[in-house]
Amino acid sequence: MKRLMNKLRNAQSKYNSVIGSVEAEIADKVKFDFNILYQESDGWVMVAEIDGDSKNAGLDFLLEIIKQKGVLTEDDYLKHSI
């Protein structure tokens, strides 16, 4: 059982590391504080608190905006937020 728990801990560590790498890679292109997480209902999302309201938006859409414009603004984020 201990071996199984170690496998789970290692998987969680790798998962967190990859998310951190993605956040770091786009951090200079996003003009607000954010986090990336996986939600069962929505898939991969970017979560941010803007004007005191926590919102999320599909990460795939947002990455496409960053690819096209080179930056993600609050306005762009809010247009795609849930």
For 34-55, write each residue's pLDDT tens digit: 999 999 999 999 999 988 899 9
Tell me the two tokens of residue 69.
């414009």
The reported pLDDT for the residue numbered 38 is 95
* Residue among 37, 35, 38 at smallest CA distance from 23: 35
Model pTM? 0.85
Beta bridge partners of 43: 39
Domain ranges of the chain: 2-80
Give me the residues of the chain with pLDDT under 70, please.
none
Buried b (16+ CB within 10 A) or exposed e, 18-37: eeeeeeeebeeebeeebebe
The reported pLDDT for the residue numbered 58 is 96
Region of residue 35 (phi > 0: left; psi between -120 and 50: alpha; otherwise: beta)? beta
